[in-house]
């Protein structure tokens, strides 16, 4: 039996976070192991959702769990949001790629997504409320859209020192080689 895959979070401003993720074409045990590792990383980090670019992978995979109950795990491979509806609501969001940073983000209350599961089986689901917000946030990551892009000018100003610190840490790590 192979050793469990352990993933590390990718933090802003790592360039992989800005690139549109590519379609998953290969399904099987390797993809299923990667999805399980994504859930493990998400839970270990205290998150409710995670997209593959957040662990340095450029594939269109997202996982989330709006309740924390294992039976509520959601895996969406090659997702597309086909409809957004309902009232647009404003709620505070955080992001595992932006530790200590929170911002008020406007999103429609409902979204309908088509995707496939980790085995390649087609699925379609409608999410509402918090689950919809999490799904849309993680989908943004697959498009290269980040929390900082959704921030109001006031939130950018309020979080400026945290954003600068993340950029400085990234540059220092690059300088070290």
Tell me the catalytic residues: 138
Identify whether the C-beta of residue 62 lies closer than 8 Å to the C-beta of residue 95.
no
| Cβ-count burial 140-156 (b if 16+ within 10 Å, e if not) | bbbbebbbbebbeeebe
Q: Is 48 exposed, middle or buried (0-12, 13-18, 19+ CB in 10 A)?
A: buried
């Amino acid at each position: 039996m192979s050793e469990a895959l352990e993933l590390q979070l990718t933090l802003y401003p790592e360039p992989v976070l800005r690139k549109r993720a590519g379609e998953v074409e290969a399904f099987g045990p390797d993809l299923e192991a990667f999805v399980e590792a994504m859930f493990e990383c998400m839970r270990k980090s205290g998150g409710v959702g995670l997209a593959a670019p957040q662990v340095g992978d450029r594939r269109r995979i997202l996982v989330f769990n709006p309740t924390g109950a294992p039976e509520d795990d959601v895996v969406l491979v090659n997702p597309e949001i086909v409809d957004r509806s309902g009232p647009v609501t404003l709620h505070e969001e955080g992001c595992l790629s932006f530790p200590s940073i929170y911002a008020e983000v406007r999103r429609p209350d409902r979204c309908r997504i088509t995707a496939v599961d980790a085995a390649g089986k087609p699925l379609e689901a409608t999410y509402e409320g918090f689950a919809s917000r999490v799904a849309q946030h993680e989908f943004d990551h697959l498009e290269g859209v980040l929390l900082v892009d959704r921030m109001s000018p006031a939130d950018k100003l309020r979080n400026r020192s945290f954003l600068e610190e993340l950029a400085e840490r990234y540059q220092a790590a690059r300088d070290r080689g």
